[in-house]
């Protein structure tokens, strides 16, 4: 393969994933990190918005720190499709040549990132938990768990451009937005035609989205193996209902069939960062901690006083979760009623 001119690639891009015209939170989280990287490199930060009737999102992207927005708006792009979005993103990269691209490690981001990186002949570091600039080389230093989470690997991409990586939602905090900020909108015409998209969206089925939207939740009540039976998870559901919280589960509870994989929190599930995280009957395996350690407040309930979860918890209740949860639920009901 012919050697590329790496000096021709400038700027840090963040893919702003949107659904029904609403930007997902991970895009704003990555703009905060992108701003840090761009400032260290002395380059501009840009958001990439793809969809239909989504220009209004540019104000939010500027408010979160971007200098520029690349906007591709077309009816064929109203809903995410692998064919359409990969073609559009590839065209943007080949035309404007960014040095680095950050994407959320969501279902769509994990589909889009590797397809685009392959088309532009570069690498992709998946599920990063840390981003920085390597002092010796000036390259993006992508840090991610390796070997089952037992070590952290830092990966560089020295020979190819752009440098690309995906980051799980809630690994980083959203920036404080400044809506007085403005920037340049670069409107790019889509070259994608309807016949280029080989899939057709037939219907969207929403399944209990309020209870499983973990990545956006401010309060999560999660249960683990200590709940003992699937029927006991009703105690988790009742507390979550009173608090307006999402319901989470450990891998052990999901593997046992007590909760859907949509509810799983942890290294092989979803990474969350709510204001309050209730860990009920969860021992605190390292894989689970990796998925919820960025929670602002962690409240653990476990009958084993030596459970690892207590080392991370801000508040701990040593007791039988079957007895403690109904008491908590009733007390929160009284507080709300009062």
Binding residues for FAD: 225, 250-251, 264-268, 281-288, 302
In a domain, 141, yes or no: yes
In a domain, 62, yes or no: yes
Pair (166, 286) in one structural domain: no
- Check residue 212 and give its pLDDT: 57
3-state SS assignment for residue 257: coil
Binding residues: 225, 250-251, 264-268, 281-288, 302
In a domain, 169, yes or no: yes
Pair (220, 182) in one structural domain: no
Tokens standing for 304?
Answer: 């084993």
What whole-number distance in Å separates Cα of residue 298 and Cα of residue 219? 10
Query: In the chain, which residue ranges form alpha helices assigned H by DSSP?
Result: 25-41, 57-63, 82-96, 107-119, 209-212, 233-243, 251-255, 286-292, 309-312, 321-337
In a domain, 31, yes or no: yes
In a domain, 1, yes or no: no
Tokens standing for 168?
Answer: 């799980």
Q: Which residues of the chain have pLDDT under 70?
A: 1-2, 148-150, 207-212
Pair (244, 134) in one structural domain: no
- Check residue 211 and give its pLDDT: 55
Tokens standing for 95?
Answer: 């035309």
- Check residue 144 and give its pLDDT: 87
Domain limit, last residue, from 172, 196, 220: 196
- Check residue 327 and give its pLDDT: 95
Question: For position 177, which CATH number holds?
Answer: 3.40.50.620
Pair (192, 83) in one structural domain: yes
- Check residue 149 and give its pLDDT: 60
Contacts of 241 (CB under 8 A, 6+ apart): none
The number of folded domains in the chain is 2
In a domain, 309, yes or no: yes
- Check residue 150 and give its pLDDT: 67
Q: How many CB atoms lie within 10 A of CB 59?
A: 16
Domain limit, last residue, from 163, 196, 229: 196
Q: Which of 120, 71, 98, 87 is nearest to 13 (CA)?
A: 98
3-state SS assignment for residue 148: coil
pLDDT digit string (tens) for 1-36? 457 888 899 999 999 999 989 999 999 999 999 999
Range of the domain at 282: 209-337
Question: For position 310, which CATH number holds?
Answer: 3.40.50.1220
Pair (75, 161) in one structural domain: yes
> Residue 184 — φ and ψ, nearest 5°?
-95, 130
Pair (180, 287) in one structural domain: no
In a domain, 204, yes or no: no
CB 223 within 8 A of CB 236: yes
**Please, how many CA atoms are within 13 Å of residue 143, restricted to the half-sphere of its CB?**
9
Pair (70, 126) in one structural domain: yes
């Amino acid at each position: 393969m012919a050697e590329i001119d790496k000096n021709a690639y400038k700027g840090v891009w963040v893919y702003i994933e949107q659904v029904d015209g609403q930007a997902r939170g991970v895009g704003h989280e990555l703009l905060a990190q992108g701003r840090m990287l761009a400032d260290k490199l002395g380059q501009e930060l840009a958001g990439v918005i793809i969809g239909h009737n989504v220009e209004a999102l540019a104000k939010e992207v500027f408010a979160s720190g971007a200098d520029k927005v690349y906007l591709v708006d077309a009816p064929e792009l109203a809903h995410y499709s692998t064919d359409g979005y990969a073609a559009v993103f590839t065209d943007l990269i080949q035309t404007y040549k960014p040095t680095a691209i950050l994407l959320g490690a969501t279902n769509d981001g994990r589909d889009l990132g590797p397809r685009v990186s392959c088309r532009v002949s570069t690498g992709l570091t998946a599920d990063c938990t840390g981003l920085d600039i390597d002092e010796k080389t000036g390259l993006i230093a992508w840090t991610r768990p390796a070997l089952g989470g037992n070590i952290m690997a830092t990966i560089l991409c020295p020979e190819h451009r752009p440098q690309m990586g995906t980051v799980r939602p809630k690994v980083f905090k959203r920036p404080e937005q400044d809506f007085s900020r403005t920037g340049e909108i670069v409107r790019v015409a889509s070259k994608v035609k309807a016949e280029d998209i080989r899939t057709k969206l037939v219907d969207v089925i929403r399944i209990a989205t309020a209870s499983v939207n973990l990545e956006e939740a401010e309060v999560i009540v999660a249960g683990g193996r200590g709940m003992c039976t699937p029927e006991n998870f009703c105690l988790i559901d009742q507390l979550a209902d009173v608090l307006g919280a999402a319901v989470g589960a450990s891998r052990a509870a999901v593997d046992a069939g007590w909760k859907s994989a949509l509810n799983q929190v942890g290294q092989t599930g979803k990474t969350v960062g709510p204001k309050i995280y209730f860990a009920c009957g969860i021992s605190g395996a390292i894989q689970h901690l990796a998925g919820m350690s960025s929670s602002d407040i962690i409240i653990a309930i476990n009958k084993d006083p030596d459970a690892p979860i207590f080392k991370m918890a801000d508040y701990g209740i040593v007791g039988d979760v079957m007895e403690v949860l109904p008491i908590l639920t009733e007390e929160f009901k009284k507080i709300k009623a009062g």
